[in-house]
Amino acid sequence: MTHQESLERLKEGNARYVNDQLNGKLQDSSRRDSLIGGQEPYAIILGCADSRVVPELAFDTGLGELFTVRVAGNVANTSSIASIEYAIAHLGTKLIVVLGHQNCGAVTAAVAGGDNGYNLNHLLGHIAPAMAASKEGASINEVVKKNAELTTIELINRSSIIKNAVDSGKVKVISAYYNLDSGKVDFL
Ligand SMILES: [Zn+2]
C-alpha cells in the first residue's frame, strides 16, 4: 500500500466514524490468529493520550492496522520517535500522522505556563516551539495545529531513519486535527 492509499483508508474510516457507521471489522479471533506471526500496519499515528481521542475508533480500524503511539500533547520525544522508527524500519509502514485535537489539555497547560513538576515540565517543553511560532493571542486550538505541524518536522529532524525514508519518497509525514465535537479528522 502506498502512503496515498493509506491516507485514503484513514479518510474512509473516519467518515464511517463521523456518521455512526463503524464497521468494526478485523477485531475477532480469526483476525487475532492471522496476526500472531507478525504485523503490517499501514499507518503510524502519533496521538495524544486523551481518552476522547482514540485513533482505532476515529479511523474505524481493527487489529494490526494502526501502529499507535500515544503521549500527552502528541509530542516528538526520544521514546515516541524510537517507537515510530521501529515501525518504519521493521514493519514497512509508509504513512505517519501526527494527530492533535481540539481542547488538548497538554497544550492548554503549556500555554498556561507555571511549574508543573519535573516530568510534566519536560513534556510541556516540547510544546514551547509551537507557542513561540503561534501568533500572539492565538487560541489553544491554533497552538494545537501548530504543534502538530511542527512535530512532523521534529520527527524528520531528529531521526535519520525517518528522514531517510521521507527523502527517498517511501514515507510521508502529515499533521491532522481531531474535532472533539464532530469526530472529524482534518488533515492539515
Ligand atoms: Zn491532548
pLDDT in tens, 76-128: 999 999 999 999 999 999 999 999 999 999 999 999 999 999 999 999 999 99
Q: What pLDDT, on a 0 to 100 scale, did the predictor assign at position 83?
A: 98
How many angstroms does the Cα of residue 30 sit away from the middle of ligand 1?
34
How many residues are given for the chain?
188
Closest CA to 121 of 134, 133, 106: 106
How many angstroms does the Cα of residue 35 sit away from the middle of ligand 1?
30
Which amino acid, 46? L
How many angstroms does the Cα of residue 34 sit away from the middle of ligand 1?
33
Confidence band for 129, pLDDT divided at 50, 70 and 90: very high
The model carries a pTM of 0.97
Please, are residues 14 and 187 in contact by the beta-carbon 8 Å criterion? no
How many angstroms does the Cα of residue 75 sit away from the middle of ligand 1?
10
pLDDT tens, residue by residue, 7-25: 999 999 999 999 999 999 9
How many angstroms does the Cα of residue 107 sit away from the middle of ligand 1?
7
Provide the residues around ligand 1 (an ion) whose CB is within 5 A: 48, 50, 104, 106
Please, are residues 39 and 59 in contact by the beta-carbon 8 Å criterion? no
How many angstroms does the Cα of residue 72 sit away from the middle of ligand 1?
5
The answer to whether the Cα torsion of 105, 110, 111, 113 is positive or negative is positive
Confidence band for 168, pLDDT divided at 50, 70 and 90: very high
How many angstroms does the Cα of residue 47 sit away from the middle of ligand 1?
8
How many angstroms does the Cα of residue 53 sit away from the middle of ligand 1?
8
How many angstroms does the Cα of residue 73 sit away from the middle of ligand 1?
5
What separation in angstroms does the CA of 96 have from each of 34, 65, 91, 135, 168? 24, 13, 13, 27, 15
Confidence band for 151, pLDDT divided at 50, 70 and 90: very high
How many angstroms does the Cα of residue 32 sit away from the middle of ligand 1?
30
* Residue-averaged pLDDT of the chain: 97
pLDDT tens, residue by residue, 33-65: 999 999 999 999 999 999 999 999 999 999 999
How many angstroms does the Cα of residue 29 sit away from the middle of ligand 1?
32
Spatial distance between the Cα atoms of 23 and 154, rounded to a whole number of angstroms: 35
Q: How many helices (H) and strands (E) does the chain have?
A: 9, 5
How many angstroms does the Cα of residue 37 sit away from the middle of ligand 1?
33
